[in-house]
Chains A and B, each alone.
Chain A
Amino acid sequence: MQKANRVIAVIAILLTSLSLAGCSGNVGVGVSVGIPVGNHGYVSVGGTRWR
């Protein structure tokens, strides 16, 4: 009986995890990409390129 309860509990947790993972509410991405960015101030050096 205890074993059956344990199996039911594990299945319940798995189903909950799957349901939450697959259905969280938004359309976004949210992938963390940590690549250093340089000094954008220098964009202004070549202002003529933007003409």
Chain B
Amino acid sequence: MVLVAAGLAACTTSSKPDLSGMTFADDPLIGKVIWHDLITEDLESAKRFYGGMFDWTFEDTKAPSGQDYSVARSGNVYVAGMLTIASPEDGSNYSRWLPYISVSDVDETLSKVTAAGGSVAATARDVNLGRVAAILDPEGAVIGLARSRFGDPDDQTTSAAPGRPMWTELLADDTSAAISFYQTTIGYDVRTLERRGGQYTLLGSNGVDRVGIMKNPSEDVKPVWLTYFGVTDPVAAAAKAEELGGRVILPPSPELRNGTLAVVEDPSGAILVLQDWSNIGGEG
């Protein structure tokens, strides 16, 4: 009984997340990316990198499976989680940012995913955030699905700012097929723009753009969902990334969205985009 009391005490005191800096929508914001997990082979290195890049603070905990898991805060807003994963023996890299999209029903959406040619990367399960799963779309891009038990952070809480995830974008080999897949499974509205680099498609709901899709720039890149993080100065941020053990893949350039972004890898090889936070929307 002492153990029970101790367990319950842990529930009601220090172990509760401090959500005082966040506000939540009354209804699920379907299609909004409401969480990001970094899957990394080196959690301590990742904490040094992202702490240095974005001034994040960390709360160390355990994932449901028992692995080390650290939750990051930017100021008083929870922005991401970081999960250790063992290096695979074949030398391939598993490190990635994994966004989670809000859906009304995770299990129902999984059925739509498989019917539309996608597959299940992680089966539906209940975790601290709520009910979640991860999928591979028909081209193999990985993304999460979530139904939050806290409610979805509203757009004011997640508004663009330095150190916050601010946009999510798919590099797809077949953009038309990808648009159709996410329209069918998530229920997005579609808006396509013409830009200097080609067509860019915005997927949204209730009049709010939530994610973007663009043509994969190279046949050698596997289709992937990219997470954009707000920075004040992309040039300085790219230099900082290198200083902290990352690698610059696309340096800021006036040719690339007017110098508002840089694409980098963190020390474990996870890719991320550094975006001028005042250039909201990411589509340039």
B119 to chain A, nearest CB (A): 11
Q: Does A33 touch B at the CB level, under 8 Å? A: yes
B275 to chain A, nearest CB (A): 11
Q: Does B184 touch A at the CB level, under 8 Å? A: no
Q: A23-B15, A36-B92 are in contact. Are A30 and B1 (CB under 8 A)?
A: no
A51 to chain B, nearest CB (A): 4
Q: A13-B3, A30-B67 are in contact. Are A36 and B88 (CB under 8 A)?
A: yes
A22 to chain B, nearest CB (A): 7
Contact between chains at B198 and A49 (CB < 8 Å) = yes
Contact with B along A23-43 (1 / 0, CB 8 A): 111111111111111111111
Contact of A25 among B16, B81, B217, B222 (CB under 8 A): B16
Contact between chains at B129 and A32 (CB < 8 Å) = no
State the B residues within 8 Å of A (CB).
1, 3-4, 6-8, 10-12, 14-17, 19, 35, 37, 39, 59, 61-65, 67, 69, 71, 78, 81, 83, 85, 88, 92-96, 98, 100, 121-122, 125, 127-129, 132-134, 136, 140, 142, 144, 146, 150, 171, 195-198, 214-218, 220-222, 224, 249-250, 253, 255-257, 261, 263, 265, 269-271, 284
The CA of A44 and the CA of B121, in the complex, are separated in Å by 28
Contact between chains at A30 and B127 (CB < 8 Å) = yes
Q: Which residues of the other chain, A, contact B271 by a CB distance below 8 angstroms?
A: 37, 40, 43
Contact between chains at B217 and A20 (CB < 8 Å) = no
Contact of B15 among A15, A25, A37, A42 (CB under 8 A): A25
Contact of A12 among B4, B140, B195, B221 (CB under 8 A): B4
